[in-house]
Chains A and B, each alone.
Chain A
Amino acid sequence: MKGQWKRFLLLRGVELAALVLLAAVPLAITNPFALALLTLLAIYGILLIGLDVTVGYLGQVNLGHAAFLGIGAYCAGLTVAILGWGMPAALAAGFAICLALGALLALPALRLEGPQFALATLSFSALTTTVINEWESLTQGAQGLQVARPPVLGVALAAPGFYWLCLGLLALVWMAMRNLLGSRWGRAFEALRDSPIATDAMGVGTYRHKVIAFALGSSLGGLAGGLYAFNFQYLQPQSFTYELMVILLLGVVLGGRKSLWGAFVGAALIVLLPNLLSNRLLFQIFSAIGLGLAVFAAGRGLAKKTTKPFQALAPVVATGLLLVGSLLVANTEDWRKAIFALTLFSVVVGLPEGLMGFAAAALTKVFRIASAPLPDAAQLESVLPARAAGGEPLLELHQLMRHFGGVHAVDGVSMTVSAGHIHGLIGPNGSGKSTAVNVISGLYAPSGGEMRLRGKPLPVGSLFKVAGCGIARTFQNLQLFGELSAIDNVMVALKDVFHTPVPLVMLGLAFNEERQARAAALTLLQLVGLGARARVRAKDLTYGAQRFLEIARALARKPELLILDEPAAGLAQPDVAELVKIIRRVHELGVTIVLIEHHMDVVAELCDVVTVLDGGKVIAEGPAHVVKRDPKVIEAYLGAVATEVAQ
């Protein structure tokens, strides 16, 4: 307990000290330009924290954030000009409108990944600029809008006062986001990024979380926008374009993704950049330092063979160009965009974790701060209560069909899975096993036929809805949340555990719930033998451990029916034996299991009933030892010649 308090004090104390330091600046330094820069730093800090939600946590290239800054700015400014509101109301207006617009934009953007998402956000940004520009009766268009800085609760704010307001809001946002992103929300956002399919299948709606993440990030952009408006007191549409967006991306990436401190460092860099560029000597020093770092990292990476030659050399070339350029060009200001580009390039290729990621990794080695200790595991009973399963029909398939154009992958499959059984589903490659299971779990909608769960029709075509019915699954090709730790993977899927509403989460009042969830997740990890590797990142686990992790994660759903899609694929023999034990243990708890497998001995050992598919149709069904000898089954696996041999 004492260690926990010490750690808590250290991390929080550090943040508090930084806040106090920054707040004290106006008392020590009277240079108004310095104060103006620090105010801008606080504003950009809020802005970048918002951007980090989509870029860092969701892992998408969001090109629309600058537009939200603009929308928030104009909203806040106009509510003051037209409605005469005070500052808190104006800021809230900017926040709320961007929250709504962000959710609205997320609706078309929600189904998109990668380049399409980037394009959708880019179009939105361009559209916003056009609307602000053309709606002259409201916004004064390209001539610009003069904005008066309204009072806060009757008190007019001059320079230090406004700075403290911005700093205060930054602190609030910081605290709220830290709590939120460390809770199930942050995990859900990251899960979304790593595997949207698994996220849906584990009952965490990809749709709603993406919309919420984007709306949240945009609303922070809107809040920053309001502050921006009251800071400059003059707005024009051309300020919020693509060029600003690239600079914001630079800040987030350079500072470090998925990190509040990274957003802060990034904001500091953005604010200082113009000053840096206009002072040639300073710029030369910085590019020299950058070059040194790049060479160092390149050497180390090449020696340890952790980086490819291109990855090591490209940042060296880029920073080298920066240094050479700084010595040769007449005016560094003219080459501003090139300097951004080269810096961003070096960081994206050579330092993908950003400065804070790099610094944190380096410093944890030096300071050796132990990670938070895990709570004791919960009782298995409370995590995965045993069920009484009496053999009644649980899942019924009737003439199920799934066609892909001319390919009839599943062509009239009828099957009944009884509660409490381990039901094997086997067949040669391409027989339709995985497709059938994908239809059941909701990845595909059926082309025909019926599916019933406990007599009621099963929802079709939606992994999320099916997950909500008590069906959980694993995947033939692993769909883990690679960047999350093993225990976090399981925690994402935990069912009926997280009840705290968002505002309370932001205030940090969900820690009890978190602790219980962590304990429950640990129990499940211990069930599959991964208790000691709880904090290891999923993608760093051994292949066998990864397979078991998927099972633990599926169990977190407290499923009635567990579908295992080739869980033994690629496993070494000792792991296969371990797998069999795990499946037995789960079976003892009354969970019905559908098992797709190629390992015949596993099937024979575990399954009560086996259904055999070939060419999308059922060719045999019955106990394993009977089905094994069925000539049709042998023919399907081995071909016609073998039937002669069998006879």
Chain B
Amino acid sequence: MDFSVIAQMVVSGAFMGLIYALVAYGFQLTYATSKSINFGQGELVMVSAFFCLTLTNLGLPYWLMVPGGLLFGAVMGLVVERTAVRLALEQQSEGWILLTIILGLLFFSSAENIWGRDDRPFPTPISADPMQIFGVDITPLEISVAVGVFAIMGLIELFKRKTLLGKAFEAVSADRDAAELMGISATGTVMLSYALSGMVATVAGILVSPITTVGPTMASALILKAFSVAVVAGLDSGFGIVVVGLVLGALESLASFYIGSGWREAPGLVLLILALALRPTGIFGKAVIRKV
């Protein structure tokens, strides 16, 4: 087969894979403090994207819209934590699974009615005209996705490893009560992680919307892939998520080309089930020791 076509598919797919990785990072942040993830994260991405669209339509320039959107994302993350997660964490149950699903549904329905059910274009100052790099068509938009994703991930890794607050994340997840006794507010840390996760969702929305357009259903496709990436890489791995994201994106693209576009979802799903079956903690994750 024509090499340039394969290269094109792999590269385009890999860029999309970076978005999956970014959303997966949102999971990682909250898992790191509370072993919980927001099953409605996709809807969070979508609602933040819509909010940014509204800001833009109200006349805000791009560089003002971004911080506005980030603030919104943080607030929404806090809302998720307070309404859907905290109660379950306090009861040490897993009720947050169902509750975050429910909250996601609520966001979805609200978005449908507030912004309408249509997909809308998302304005961006970055051009979507392709450039040829090594024979492959790449748009500056896609490059901005890569830049954005790596920047955010770098920041998060720095945060986790170098700052005290980052260490607090690990402490709370390892032993909530002990951390509290050490003067770390478990609730506060969990809140912070959800706020950060919300901001990551906003960044993902801003980066991906110009490519996929903004619509109520934009996230439902994204979210399963992000789950796949998070689980296959391991919910507590750092860089592994980027690697798995790139690979998954490329695989999907190749699958849709060679097998048929409808089968694009298949690699991610099969990988997810296999990963869960064979190595639930992920390729790069740490094994868990049960204590009785």
Contacts of A337 in B (CB 8 A): 105-106, 108-109, 112
Q: How far is the CA of A350 from the CA of B280 in the complex (A)?
A: 33
Q: How far is the CA of A450 from the CA of B132 in the complex (A)?
A: 66
Partner of A338, one of B106, B262, B272, B273: B106
- The answer to whether A111 and B280 have CB atoms under 8 Å apart is yes
- The answer to whether B105 and A338 have CB atoms under 8 Å apart is yes
Give the shortest distance, in Å, between B37 (CB) and chain A (any CB): 6
A164 interface residue per 8 A CB criterion? no
- The answer to whether A123 and B97 have CB atoms under 8 Å apart is no
Contacts of A133 in B (CB 8 A): 262
Contacts of B97 in A (CB 8 A): 61, 114-115, 118
A85 interface residue per 8 A CB criterion? no
Stretch at the interface among B163-171, B179-187, B223-231: B223-231
A340 interface residue per 8 A CB criterion? yes
A73 interface residue per 8 A CB criterion? no
Stretch at the interface among B142-150, B196-204, B243-251, B263-271: B263-271
Find the residue from A197, A341, A348, A434 having the highest chain B CB count within 10 A. A341
Contacts of B262 in A (CB 8 A): 130, 133-134
- Taking A311-B87, A337-B108, A348-B99 as contacts, is the C-beta distance between A119 and B113 under 8 angstroms? no
B188 interface residue per 8 A CB criterion? no
B124 interface residue per 8 A CB criterion? no
A438 interface residue per 8 A CB criterion? yes
- The answer to whether B266 and A127 have CB atoms under 8 Å apart is yes
CB proximity to A under 8 Å, residues B252-269: 260, 262-263, 265-266, 269
Give the shortest distance, in Å, between A255 (CB) and chain B (any CB): 15
- The answer to whether B277 and A119 have CB atoms under 8 Å apart is no
B102 interface residue per 8 A CB criterion? yes
Contacts of B161 in A (CB 8 A): none
B95 interface residue per 8 A CB criterion? yes
B233 interface residue per 8 A CB criterion? no
CB proximity to A under 8 Å, residues B52-100: 83, 86-87, 90, 94-95, 97-99
- Taking A114-B97, A308-B87 as contacts, is the C-beta distance between A130 and B269 under 8 angstroms? yes
What 0/1 pattern do residues 323 to 352 of A give for CB contact below 8 A with B?
000000100001111111110110011000
Q: Which 7 A/B pairs are nearest by Cβ-Cβ distance?
A: A108-B277, A338-B109, A337-B109, A341-B106, A341-B105, A134-B262, A127-B269
- The answer to whether B263 and A130 have CB atoms under 8 Å apart is yes
- The answer to whether B260 and A120 have CB atoms under 8 Å apart is no
When C-beta atoms are compared, the residue in chain B nearest to A477 turns out to be B292
Q: How far is the CA of A114 from the CA of B89 in the complex (A)?
A: 13
When C-beta atoms are compared, the residue in chain A nearest to B105 turns out to be A341
When C-beta atoms are compared, the residue in chain B nearest to A201 turns out to be B292
A275 interface residue per 8 A CB criterion? no
Partner of A61, one of B98, B112, B113, B265: B98
Find the residue from A107, A120, A336, A479 having the highest chain B CB count within 10 A. A120
- The answer to whether B273 and A108 have CB atoms under 8 Å apart is yes
Find the residue from A123, A134, A475 having the highest chain B CB count within 10 A. A123
Contacts of A248 in B (CB 8 A): none
A124 interface residue per 8 A CB criterion? yes
Q: How far is the CA of A115 from the CA of B231 in the complex (A)?
A: 10
Contacts of A111 in B (CB 8 A): 277, 280
A466 interface residue per 8 A CB criterion? no
A416 interface residue per 8 A CB criterion? no
Q: How far is the CA of A242 from the CA of B108 in the complex (A)?
A: 13
A367 interface residue per 8 A CB criterion? no
Partner of A443, one of B101, B277, B292: B292
Give the shortest distance, in Å, between A472 (CB) and chain B (any CB): 15
When C-beta atoms are compared, the residue in chain A nearest to B40 turns out to be A341
B289 interface residue per 8 A CB criterion? yes
Give the shortest distance, in Å, between A444 (CB) and chain B (any CB): 8
Q: How far is the CA of A475 from the CA of B291 in the complex (A)?
A: 11
B122 interface residue per 8 A CB criterion? no
A288 interface residue per 8 A CB criterion? no
Q: How far is the CA of A308 from the CA of B90 in the complex (A)?
A: 11
Contacts of A340 in B (CB 8 A): 105
CB proximity to A under 8 Å, residues B6-38: 36-37
- The answer to whether B273 and A334 have CB atoms under 8 Å apart is no
- The answer to whether B266 and A344 have CB atoms under 8 Å apart is no
Would you give 16 A-B contacts (Cβ < 8 Å), ordered by A?
Answer: A61-B98, A61-B101, A108-B276, A115-B97, A119-B227, A120-B273, A123-B272, A123-B273, A130-B265, A246-B101, A310-B86, A340-B105, A341-B106, A345-B99, A348-B95, A477-B292
- The answer to whether B39 and A118 have CB atoms under 8 Å apart is yes
B126 interface residue per 8 A CB criterion? no
Give the shortest distance, in Å, between A134 (CB) and chain B (any CB): 4
CB proximity to B under 8 Å, residues A115-172: 115-116, 118-120, 122-124, 126-127, 130, 133-134
Q: How far is the CA of A249 from the CA of B231 in the complex (A)?
A: 24
Give the shortest distance, in Å, between B56 (CB) and chain A (any CB): 25
Contacts of A475 in B (CB 8 A): 292
- The answer to whether A345 and B269 have CB atoms under 8 Å apart is no
When C-beta atoms are compared, the residue in chain B nearest to A340 turns out to be B105
B5 interface residue per 8 A CB criterion? no
Give the shortest distance, in Å, between A477 (CB) and chain B (any CB): 6
Contacts of B106 in A (CB 8 A): 337-338, 341-342, 345
Beyond the given A340-B105, A342-B106, please list 15 additional residue pairs across the A-B interface where CB-CB is below 8 A.
A108-B276, A115-B36, A120-B277, A124-B273, A127-B266, A130-B262, A130-B266, A133-B262, A134-B263, A335-B113, A337-B108, A341-B106, A348-B102, A349-B87, A434-B292
A404 interface residue per 8 A CB criterion? yes
Partner of B269, one of A107, A126, A438: A126
A109 interface residue per 8 A CB criterion? yes
Partner of A114, one of B94, B113, B269: B94
Q: How far is the CA of A115 from the CA of B272 in the complex (A)?
A: 13
Contacts of B98 in A (CB 8 A): 61, 249, 253, 344, 348
- The answer to whether B266 and A197 have CB atoms under 8 Å apart is no
A476 interface residue per 8 A CB criterion? yes
Give the shortest distance, in Å, between A462 (CB) and chain B (any CB): 13
Contacts of A109 in B (CB 8 A): 276-277
Contacts of B277 in A (CB 8 A): 107-109, 111, 120
Q: How far is the CA of A123 from the CA of B87 in the complex (A)?
A: 27
Give the shortest distance, in Å, between A303 (CB) and chain B (any CB): 20
- Taking A108-B277, A112-B276, A133-B262 as contacts, is the C-beta distance between A127 and B270 under 8 angstroms? yes
Q: How far is the CA of A334 from the CA of B276 in the complex (A)?
A: 37
Q: How far is the CA of A348 from the CA of B266 in the complex (A)?
A: 33
B162 interface residue per 8 A CB criterion? no
B103 interface residue per 8 A CB criterion? yes
Partner of B276, one of A120, A130, A242: A120
